[in-house]
Structure 1
Amino acid sequence: MLPSSQPLPSVPDQPVDYQAAFEALPGSFLLLAPNAPAYTVLAISTDLLELTARTRQQVIGQSVFTVYPENPDAPTATGPSALRASLQNAAHTQQSDQMPVVRYDLRNAAGVFEPRYWSSLTKPLLDAAGQVQYLLHTTQDITEQVRKQDQQRELSKIEKTYGLFLQAPVAVCILTGPEYTIELANDEMHRFWGTTPAVTGQPLFAALPHAREHGFAELLDQVRKTGESYFGTEYPVQFAGPEQPVQYYNFIYQAYFENPTDATAAGVFCVAHNVTAQVIARQQVEESERQVRALVDSAPFPISVHVGQDLRIQSANQAMLTAWGKGRAVLGRAFAEVLPEFEDQDVFFQMEQVFATGQPFGVRNQQIEVVIDGAPQTFYYHYNFTPLYNPDGSVYGIVNTGADVTDLMLARQRIEKYAAELEESEERFRIMADAAPNHVWAVHPDSSIRYVNRAFLEFVGVSLEEYLRVGWASYLYPEELEHAQHILTEAISRQTIYRLEHRMRRHDGQYRWLLAQGAPSYYPNGELYGYVGSAIDITELKQMNEQLVQTNNDLDNFVYTASHDLKAPIHNIEGLLHALLQTLPPETRHSGQVQRLTDMMQESVDRFTKTIANLTDVVKLQKENSEEAVLVELASVLQDVCLDLEPLRAAAAGQLQSRVPGGLVVRFSAKNLRSVLYNLLSNSLKYRAPDRPPLVRISYELAPPYHVLTVTDNGLGIANTHQEQLFGMFRRFHNHVEGSGIGLYMVKKMVDNAGGKIMVSSQVGVGSSFQVYFRH
């Protein structure tokens, strides 16, 4: 670590040349592509180039087996096959593979093969998706070490022959005579048989009686009598017992003679090699290949393989056969024979170029005409042609993969057509909007200005470009800007009707009151286009409204004062009536005419008293219109109202059924919401039918921009001729129940003042249904 006082070294800005760094690594390294069977050389270290007497131009881009071919004069050299096995294992297992020491001969500068021995390691390099991207092969020339070891082994070969025989990694034995007496068997052969050295000297089938069942006696007789060797490959055996797993062996039975002139062999020399691991690995590979083939066959996108100059169809999955409109009978046939219509569409030329050059080819959104059932049909495809290589690097075939994008292209064409129509429609809209006397505007879904008409521009006194640049924030009344922006953004987010009264600066600097209203506009696919609306100058109306409000307040004050001032005289009249009754003689007070007159007077006083009280309530309602709306949980208020109405419900033997979900909130005055619910539910119980108990159902639905509460009863019902008058002041249509006739008037007033609405549908003798629309 550097001391804190010492500056850190600077890092160069130029990118690292990893290719040069790899080539300069000390040691012998190869970077190979995992493209079996070629394994193309991508990079090579300079040390290995010098060691193998090659130039980088001779190596890069070639198959490693082309650069370093097998020595045809050394068939026992296992280098190429061991290298191929190591590369395959590393690519398949994604684990490093350590090769045994192998002989891999190399040509010298004169072109003559020289024996070489190597110790090598293959390591897979994975990409971000966990797939093998490269194979890094590290090797070390140990020829001199091997030669020294060979010399040492030659010196000790004789004394070690017997020990090596016994310790050989393969099973070896010598069987003599027609009884096949076990003359010699190493440890591996005993493991193969499941025996111990104690069987030495015994006839084979006495020591292993179950071996006859596998036909080994006949094989040994054949070899011993004919002198011809027998080779067994991947022979399954269970000498150790049926409970043990099957083992697979490659074995050789070779006759041996005591003297070269003998006509009959003295015995049989046996060598067996356990290849169980290789067999199981191959079976797993074969199973994996079957799974891959099944995966390709079931892939939803077209895949085919073409081989040879005539691009014969070697394989094609069902998706490709469907794309061609052909059956499996096309397999094995030349591509041009199966799809001649492709000749004039550059497809053959593209494939021939890939086959000739080895360069992959791909194209997107390509229009293709395919003849299916005798009729040409148009499709659009993404497709690719990928070359397949022989070990020598030559191309022997092509893989064709594709994706049908016909629906996507047709949809794009429809969108482009619609966009053109939309642009034309928008131009017509602007022409009409510019001719409108009102201010017409449109905004994007992010609330930014899309367009304003000529009347709007004349109002603010700037060009459209200038207005789009500065936006409406420069013209709104400063104290109202934040509120106006919030209302517009909230409406867009909820996609509800936008309505706002605000002040805006005119071209002469005067702030004028505007009433702006807008609604969401949508594309045909349902996506929000933006908001389109208009604005009108309501300054004069605003001033008139203020005067009307003042007049209305004066009237309210007059009604309130009058009702208050009339209470005392009415109470006095009622007191005088009671006093008069007390002063009359009993016979006069109880006479029919006097009784009738006094009752009528009392009823008039009572009605007058109720009328004054109702007027007071109406005035109070007018004064409470400005009460702040808050978020109120509908179900909670409904539950409280139902509790208050429990005595009335019980007396009527009725039912109140609610389907209002818990947690649902509406923006309304809490006090007014309770009054609305109480009036509607109590009316449903009071105006019940005489022949059935009342049943009141309360339900909810969302109908943007409203929450809709519905109260339905099975009561008396209201005639169609009376329904329009139902919400008027002092309107009553059933007089057998006590009431004032202003309850529904007050309900409608409260709902209207909150920006909602109330509707009724009713049938005499069936019942009524009230729908209350609360704003979001």
Structure 2
Amino acid sequence: MLPALLAVASSFPDAVPADAFLPALLELSVSGVVCYAPLTDATGQIVDFAFAYLNPAAQRVLGLPAQPATTYREVFPEPPPFAAFAFHCEAYSSAEPRHFELNYQGPDHDTYCRVNGRRLGQHLLVSFSFSQEQDRNAVEQALRQSQAHARAARAQAEAQRAELTTIFEQAPAAIAIFEGPDHVIKLANRDHLALWGKTAADVLDKPLFEALPEFRRIGYEELLMGVMQTGEPYVAKQMSANLTRDGQRAPVYFDFVYQPWRNMHGVVTGVIVVATEITQQVVARQQAVALQAEALAVAERRAQERETFYQVFEQTPASIVLLRGPEHRVEYHNEAYQQLFPGRRMRGRTIAEIQPDAAQQGFLALLDRVYQTGETFVGRELPLAINQPDGQRRETYFNFTYQPYRENGQVTGISVFAYDVTEQVLTRQAREAQQHKFYTLFEQAPTGICILAGPELVFEFVNPSYQLLLPERELLGRPVFEALPEIEHTAVAAMLRGVYATGHTHEEQAMLVPLARPADGALEDRYFTFIYQARRDDLGRIDGILAFVFEVTAQQQAIAAVRESEARFRIMADAAPNQVWAVNPDSSIRYANQAFLDFVGVENLEQYAATGWSAYLPAEELHLAQRTLADAIRTRSMYALEHRMRRHDGEYRWLLAQGAPSFYPNGELYGYVGSAIDITALKQANEQLTRTNRDLDNFVYAASHDLKQPVNNLALLLQELRRGVTFADPAEEQLLMPMVQEALQQLSNTIDELAALGQAQQMSHAPAEQVSLAELTAEVVGTLEPQVQAARARITTDFAARPALSFARANLRTILLNLLGNALKYADPARPARIHVSVQMVQGRCVLTVEDNGLGFDAQKYGAELFQLFRRLHTHAPGSGVGLYLVKRIVEASGGSVEVESQPGEGATFRIRLGTT
């Protein structure tokens, strides 16, 4: 075991066995021999010695085995200045032997002892012996004095320990000490026992997880072991555990610090726990971390007695400072407090010196009051402006306690315990600002909005729109069922309680809620659409309900009136002989009368709705019918369409369907209501008439072509007669010949216009092309230039709305030529003619307008005759009455229409609504 000693023995003569010599020597020696192995800390400094070997003599004297599992300082504790231990360290560090003398007191000895030691390799070899013959008076006297000092020191230490325990008991924090790897509870003050819900007898001198099995397997074993192994403190925030208190198991929340507990040699032997229960703060939804202790107990001014407590303070996240005297001089401060004032010297200085502006901010006055009255002051979220080293001024918010402490019944100082809650304050201020912004928006909202707080659903917020729903009722600050007692036992109350209990949003549409009238208290039926949504706090717990309420009583009354009206309408519609129908805004069928159902051969509306139009309209007409109805609904315009529909016997009949939009009183579209009549006979008659007109047009065109040549021949014959025939009476010649000439000219003009009419009919189906209105109008005006000059006319145009039209050019030219020609022909000779040609877009269709300031006519009286063939209203100007008839035929052939407005002496306005543009 000691190779170095065996090496020494090997230098003996061969006659002496080396491996037997040393064990025999050690066994026979009357002196005690001990071999030690040094124990060092992280810096390499010796802190103790382990026993590697004791010879029999040493075993007898010390009462230890040959290789005990203990250390020198555990076997030989001594008071300062630790002379014996210092000797062992010196002997190990020296290359020479060292000697030491002491008085040894043991179970069987109280005698003088000589000790010799020297280093042997990595071990220390020590030999000691006892002597009764030495003059020990001086030494013994010194040793006994030392022992007396040691006993006094131990007594003082015990007193300090007892006093420290008293301080722990009075401290405003839960404090406990766990010892050893099993974390045996050696100390737990009253607050810590209360936190656990245990008595001292329940837990003291028991392993933590045996006394409190609730803490097992939720992470605390690892935290404690980490502090024991690393020697590093652990600070925890808002930890929880399910603890049994007063027979009930409930979660308990707390902040705590695990501080390593070291023995006098610096070895971690346990853990100090300083904890603060914060269950009430968490449950009460406080936004900031509450003070973990309301006040620090007053401690006596004894540095040695409070050193351990100060170590705990150093690891506490709170800022702690102890002030002494009326000038508030810093006696102690922890690192957290120092960090508030970086670079400033603290200890021994007054608060006024450390914080020159503390007086201006009011803190010195508070300290003075606490010192003078002895009353504790608790401040919450008070701002403190602190000048930083870089010259910046930072405002910090604190929750703090000024707690006076006393000596001999007199206040001698103040303990300050403060928490930095700046982040919580700024967060709350930002949240309050955001909340104010929301409340401002809610105040301006046209929707009724209120907030019901707490399980009693108290009106916390009511915007003006909500108050208008319940005039003359006081709402704010009152529970909802106190302010509205008539709803307490209704479905509304169940909905509110359900939302608060489950957090599920609830929505209702047009719900009947009887409410009392303020005037007489009688219940009246009112309808509301509303949304109830749960409000949650920062921890996600429901703490209220946000309600959005719309009153729809008027709409419901209107709907009821519409339904009543609709019922009467259906009765009348079912009695009508023609088809009557109604559709929804999405074009789905709402109603069809009995005549409609009989026409298609179904028994009820559901059978028809199963297929709709698609089963009864020809496939090639279905899309046009659907698009026409959709366009009418989109533009809220009249609906009109001629289409075929299959009758119950399979025959397709022509129907004229017309409908108009119907609206609720609030302007919302109710749908379209219309009717359809069978126009098959009319359609067939029109087709026959169209064929007849076509035949007539062909005949007129052929007849005009055939008559043209005979009229030309008569004109030539008349010329020959005038050259070769002499009348007996010259006066008769002057009278008859012009009359015949004029008659032939009128006949020729009539034949030309009939030919043009026939030609126009032939060209009614000419292909459309893009025609520039400005160019075409200029061309027509050029053709009519003589008439323009004669009427002193000024012709203006405005084609900005549609510069070009898609139309048959020749037909459009004929329209303009006739309208402008008539405007010039019937101009008022008393004033220059003014003609304006323009284009507008009306409901998606192009309207060509020609306005003049001519003679005009009574349109109310003659408007229907104006477009008849050969009809003329003014006879003072030449004409055949064919031009306007021709215009009307061209326009109607393209799907358009012609309108005229006029008064005698005020000119005329012609509007051509073109079907194709």
| TM bucket, shorter chain | 0.5 to 0.7
Is the counterpart of residue 533 in structure 1 residue 663 in structure 2?
Answer: no
Can you give the 5+ residue segments of structure 1 that lack an aligned partner in the other structure? 1-68, 84-97, 120-142, 434-439
2:699 to 546, 551, 555: 555
The match for 1:520 is 659
In the TM superposition, residue 624 of structure 1 has moved relative to its aligned partner by 3.0
Give the direction of change, closer, same or farther, for the CA distance of 1:544–1:282 in structure 2 (3 Å limit).
closer
In the TM superposition, residue 163 of structure 1 has moved relative to its aligned partner by 8.4
Secondary structure (helix, strand or coil) at the match of 1:372 reads coil
- 1:229 and 1:443 map into 2 onto residues whose CA distance is 82
The match for 2:754 is 615
2:642 to 474, 479, 499: 499
Per-residue CA distance 1:273-332 (angstroms, 9 max, x = gap): 4332222233334445555666666663364648899x887775555544343243x656
Is the counterpart of residue 246 in structure 1 residue 414 in structure 2?
Answer: no
1:114-193 equivalences in 2 (<5 Å): 169-173=317-321, 175=323, 180=328, 188-193=336-341
Secondary structure (helix, strand or coil) at the match of 1:107 reads strand
- 2:361 and 2:588 map into 1 onto residues whose CA distance is 88
Is the counterpart of residue 413 in structure 1 residue 560 in structure 2?
Answer: yes
Secondary structure (helix, strand or coil) at the match of 1:532 reads strand
The match for 1:132 is none
1:748 to 867, 870, 888: 888
Q: Is the 8 A contact 1:656 1:698 kept in 2?
A: yes
In the TM superposition, residue 618 of structure 1 has moved relative to its aligned partner by 2.8
Secondary structure (helix, strand or coil) at the match of 1:246 reads strand
The match for 2:242 is 106
- 2:484 and 2:645 map into 1 onto residues whose CA distance is 72
The match for 2:228 is none
In the TM superposition, residue 737 of structure 1 has moved relative to its aligned partner by 5.3
- 2:480 and 2:253 map into 1 onto residues whose CA distance is 48
- 1:490 and 1:665 map into 2 onto residues whose CA distance is 26
Q: Is the 8 A contact 1:173 1:269 kept in 2?
A: yes
Q: Is the 8 A contact 1:71 1:105 kept in 2?
A: no
Code of the residue aligned with 1:283 in structure 2: it is: Q
- 1:748 and 1:160 map into 2 onto residues whose CA distance is 115
Give the direction of change, closer, same or farther, for the CA distance of 1:99–1:297 in structure 2 (3 Å limit).
farther
Q: Is the 8 A contact 2:868 2:885 kept in 1?
A: yes
Is the counterpart of residue 572 in structure 1 residue 716 in structure 2?
Answer: yes
The match for 1:131 is none
Code of the residue aligned with 2:520 in structure 1: it is: G
Give the direction of change, closer, same or farther, for the CA distance of 1:670–1:456 in structure 2 (3 Å limit).
farther
Is the counterpart of residue 694 in structure 1 residue 833 in structure 2?
Answer: yes
Per-residue CA distance 1:540-587 (angstroms, 9 max, x = gap): 858965884585266335413422432551453265257549xx9xxx
The match for 1:196 is 344
The match for 1:424 is 571
1:477-492 equivalences in 2 (<5 Å): 481-485=618-622, 488-489=625-626, 491-492=628-629
- 1:104 and 1:367 map into 2 onto residues whose CA distance is 46
Q: Is the 8 A contact 1:304 1:401 kept in 2?
A: no
Code of the residue aligned with 1:238 in structure 2: it is: A
- Percentage identity across aligned positions? 23
Secondary structure (helix, strand or coil) at the match of 1:236 reads strand
Q: Is the 8 A contact 1:497 1:705 kept in 2?
A: no
In the TM superposition, residue 732 of structure 1 has moved relative to its aligned partner by 5.0
1:54-133 equivalences in 2 (<5 Å): 71=196, 100=236, 104-107=240-243
- 2:466 and 2:876 map into 1 onto residues whose CA distance is 83
- 1:444 and 1:383 map into 2 onto residues whose CA distance is 29
Code of the residue aligned with 1:106 in structure 2: it is: N
Q: Between Structure 1 and Structure 2, whose CA radius of gyration is higher?
A: 2
Give the direction of change, closer, same or farther, for the CA distance of 1:371–1:167 in structure 2 (3 Å limit).
closer
The match for 1:5 is none
In the TM superposition, residue 712 of structure 1 has moved relative to its aligned partner by 2.2
1:339-738 equivalences in 2 (<5 Å): 346=490, 365-374=511-520, 376=522, 377-381=524-528, 403-429=550-576, 432-433=577-578, 481-485=618-622, 488-489=625-626, 491-493=628-630, 495=632, 496-499=639-642, 516-520=655-659, 522-523=661-662, 527-529=671-673, 532-537=676-681, 541=685, 545=689, 548=692, 552=696, 555-556=699-700, 558-566=702-710, 568-570=712-714, 572-573=716-717, 576=720, 580=724, 602-627=741-766, 641=780, 649=788, 652-658=791-797, 662-663=801-802, 669-698=808-837, 708-718=847-857, 726-730=866-870
Q: Is the 8 A contact 1:368 1:378 kept in 2?
A: yes
- 1:146 and 1:286 map into 2 onto residues whose CA distance is 36
Q: Is the 8 A contact 1:635 1:663 kept in 2?
A: no
Give the direction of change, closer, same or farther, for the CA distance of 1:593–1:115 in structure 2 (3 Å limit).
closer
Give the direction of change, closer, same or farther, for the CA distance of 1:211–1:645 in structure 2 (3 Å limit).
farther
RMSD, matched Cα: 6.1
The match for 2:908 is 768
Q: Is the 8 A contact 2:701 2:755 kept in 1?
A: no
In the TM superposition, residue 428 of structure 1 has moved relative to its aligned partner by 1.2
Secondary structure (helix, strand or coil) at the match of 1:100 reads strand
Code of the residue aligned with 2:640 in structure 1: it is: I
- 1:620 and 1:191 map into 2 onto residues whose CA distance is 107
- 2:906 and 2:623 map into 1 onto residues whose CA distance is 47
The match for 1:31 is none
- 1:691 and 1:663 map into 2 onto residues whose CA distance is 34
In the TM superposition, residue 424 of structure 1 has moved relative to its aligned partner by 1.8
Code of the residue aligned with 2:720 in structure 1: it is: L
Code of the residue aligned with 2:704 in structure 1: it is: Y
The structure with higher relative contact order (CA 8 Å, sep 6+) is: 1
The match for 2:113 is none
- 2:597 and 2:399 map into 1 onto residues whose CA distance is 95
- 2:690 and 2:502 map into 1 onto residues whose CA distance is 86
Secondary structure (helix, strand or coil) at the match of 1:764 reads coil
Give the direction of change, closer, same or farther, for the CA distance of 1:675–1:529 in structure 2 (3 Å limit).
same
In the TM superposition, residue 623 of structure 1 has moved relative to its aligned partner by 2.9
Per-residue CA distance 1:722-762 (angstroms, 9 max, x = gap): 76654444555656656554322322332344444434343
In the TM superposition, residue 368 of structure 1 has moved relative to its aligned partner by 0.4
Code of the residue aligned with 1:760 in structure 2: it is: V
Q: Is the 8 A contact 1:103 1:115 kept in 2?
A: no
Secondary structure (helix, strand or coil) at the match of 2:357 reads helix
1:228-377 equivalences in 2 (<5 Å): 230-240=377-387, 244-253=393-402, 261=408, 265=412, 269-288=415-434, 290=436, 300-301=447-448, 303=450, 305=452, 318-328=464-474, 346=490, 365-374=511-520, 376=522, 377=524
Code of the residue aligned with 1:236 in structure 2: it is: P
- 1:542 and 1:676 map into 2 onto residues whose CA distance is 25
Secondary structure (helix, strand or coil) at the match of 1:326 reads coil
Code of the residue aligned with 1:422 in structure 2: it is: F
Secondary structure (helix, strand or coil) at the match of 1:766 reads coil
Q: Is the 8 A contact 1:492 1:520 kept in 2?
A: no
The match for 1:125 is none
1:42-57 equivalences in 2 (<5 Å): none
Give the direction of change, closer, same or farther, for the CA distance of 1:535–1:102 in structure 2 (3 Å limit).
closer
